[in-house]
Chain A
Amino acid sequence: MQPTEKTSPGPVVDGRPSSRKRWDTTDLSLVAVFAALIAALAIVPGIPVGPLGVPITLQTLGVMLTGVVLGPGRGTAAVLLYLAAGLIGLPVFSGFSGGFGVLAGPSAGYLIAFPPAALVAGLLARAVLRRAARFRTVLLFLACVVASLSTIHPLGVAGLMVNADLSLRDAVLVDAAYLPGDIVKNVLAALLAVSVHRAFPRLLARPRA
């Protein structure tokens, strides 16, 4: 990091008022950089967690984080951009090398769930950041839990049933193995989001007219 003497991290980048509906260049680059962040988190080796050092991969962390940091609009756009990049064949998905092939893979349901997950997490996070002055970490954590339980897990199970031809019971069992890791990642996403919004208070707080 260069020592920057830029005093305002806020997106005052171009001259038009922030109530403008179209995104400015900072919004555009936030979308692109967070798509890259999800990709980077998906492809770096997992971090060993706890005394056993079981690694968790961070792809879904990236998705949740993108929603709660950027809000519903830009967050969903970033996740869609990430998916688009993976689907055209860039190696940005965990484990698989990308391309249309993943649509037939067992994890297709999870991938399809990412944009709605970011949307739900973003909507809830925006409400939390605008209304709640206290318990933000807990509320953001709950936002992530709601988002992942309402989108990622159901669609993930559906994907396992269709593509891996598992029975509902087996699919739910397989999916349940991800739940503990998910809770950890959602806690992490909430903690990170609070840090980010403290460091960049204008990121989501300003009302968009």
Chain B
Amino acid sequence: MIEFIGAAVQSDDDRRTLLHPLTLSLAERRVSVIGANGSGKSTLLRLVNGLRLPSQGRVEVLGQDTRKAGGAVRRSVGFVFTDPLSQLVMPTGREDVELSLRTRKLPAAERRLRAGEVLRRFGLEHLADRSIYDLSGGERQILALAVVLAVEPRILLADEPTTLLDLRNDTVVRALLAGLRQQVVFTTHNLDFAREAERTLVIDGGRVVFDGTPDDAVACYRALSTQPDGGPAGDGHLLP
């Protein structure tokens, strides 16, 4: 359960509003967020695990305030970035998974065992000791998912997880995400992918301009993108 309570974000120099005050709660298992580049999608995601703190209002995740308990929130919320290379820290996949497990304060032997299991579960065992630079884009993104899911977060955030992938890997990563038990909130420019959610938010200029079913949301987003200064069209309920 993710709750935004009047949460707004100003830019660092305080000149622009990146996200206007937002109040809504997300309980659906799959939530997608769509919108143009720079509309505030990433800011919204980063609010959820406290990478960004609201300049007014607050955000609560599983009942915990991201400002007061940032560390605890990040321990239960995983985050997958667009570019896996900015996410993977260690030279090989095995070491990176072990690094993730380090936050769980396990003894080294236990960590090694668990890392092996995780890699097996994601079909990455044969690549575990290769340099991450020798992996393909798709393999890297799956590895990035594996290192995040290794610590079994209760919520997963994914910021355009398929943008850098080719069609085949796009399918693999989407199938992987679809099979997760966790609540997943993701941003994407791929409208088919967005439709796989149960609920979709459309963001424009730092405001959530539509909140409803994926099909209506996609229609709204299309209308927004084709008529630059016309208001959003579509049937769902429009937010102020």
Contact = CB atoms under 8 A, between A and B. Distances in A.
Q: Do chains A and B touch in the complex (CB under 8 A)?
A: yes
Interface of A: 2-8, 10, 12-15, 201-202
Interface residues of B, number: 22
A7 B164 contact: no
B51 A13 contact: yes
Interface string B91-108: 000000000000000000
27 contacts: A2-B83, A2-B163, A2-B164, A4-B42, A4-B82, A5-B37, A5-B38, A5-B41, A5-B42, A7-B18, A7-B38, A7-B43, A8-B11, A8-B12, A10-B12, A12-B12, A12-B51, A12-B52, A12-B53, A14-B50, A14-B51, A15-B50, A15-B53, A15-B66, A15-B67, A15-B70, A201-B13
A201 B14 CA distance: 14
A12 B12 CA distance: 9
List the 9 shortest-distance A-B pairs measured between CB atoms, nearest first. A15-B70, A8-B12, A10-B12, A2-B83, A5-B38, A5-B37, A5-B42, A15-B53, A7-B18
B187 to A, nearest CB: 9
Given A12-B53, A15-B50, A6 B42 contact: yes
Contacts, number: 37
A83 B51 CA distance: 32
Contacts of A3: 37
A27 to B, nearest CB: 15
A86 B50 CA distance: 36
A169 B116 CA distance: 61
B38 A2 contact: no
A2 B66 CA distance: 28
B54 to A, nearest CB: 11
Nearest to A6: B42
Interface in B1-54: 11-13, 16, 18, 37-39, 41-43, 50-53
A12 B39 CA distance: 19
B103 to A, nearest CB: 12
A5 B33 CA distance: 14
A14 B38 contact: no
Nearest to A16: B70
Contacts of B52: 12
Contacts of B163: 2
Nearest to B43: A7
B70 A202 contact: no
B72 to A, nearest CB: 11
Contacts of A7: 11, 16, 18, 38, 43
Nearest to A206: B12
A6 B42 CA distance: 7
A14 B83 contact: no
A14 B38 CA distance: 22
A15 B43 CA distance: 15
B4 to A, nearest CB: 16
